[in-house]
Amino acid sequence: MNTTRVLLVSLLSVAVLAGCSKKVKEQPVADTTPTAPSTAPSTGSGLYGPEDLDTDACLRQRVVYFDLDQDALKPEFQNIIGCHSKYLRDRPSARITLQGHADERGSRAYNQGLGERRGNAVNSALQAAGGSAGQLEVVSYGEERPVCTESNEACWSQNRRVEIIYTAR
């Protein structure tokens, strides 16, 4: 009987509180989800034009970086590859030279080969995304053209790269 009383009092309390609850008008929740930057071309036709190489945020990114002794393309550079391959599809007269580079560590011959393998990795990715082999050329500079000349990891990581150079727009 004691249990029944406690249960009955609890139910009555809940019913009273539910009946006395203040009605609050619900406000729509603001969407705070970050939006991805637009990689769409600026021309109304949906095709890239030569002016987009200077104005489109994605197309202005023309360096692909690599890990130490690696020639595999990192996933974070897939968007850049996609933009440049679309540009190549939209502009059949466009031409790109892919300049492969390495840091100062390793022999000259090793770094020359590594720069070429990195350039070929970007070349393959561009072709897989729709670029034409006839629009692409790979050149390796190995360790010969560093952007940073200090001997530390921060500097070396800047030198492990492929630069995308447009030779014809």
Question: What DSSP string describes the chain?
Answer: -HHHHHHHHHHHHHHHHHHHPPP-PPPPPP--PPPPPP-S-SSTTS---TTHHHH-TTTT--EEE--TT--SPPGGGHHHHHHHHHHHHH-TT-EEEEEEE--SSS-HHHHHHHHHHHHHHHHHHHHHTT--GGGEEEEEEETSS-S--SSSHHHHHHHSEEEEEEEE-
Average pLDDT over residues 35-39: 40
On whether the pTM is more than 0.85, the answer is: no
Statement: residue 72 has pLDDT above 50? yes
The tens digit of pLDDT for each residue in 130-161 reads 999 999 999 999 999 999 999 999 999 999 99
> In the predicted model, what is the mean pLDDT of residues 68-96?
97
Task: Write down the pLDDT at residue 45.
Answer: 78
Domains in the chain: ranges and CATH: 48-168 (3.30.1330.60)
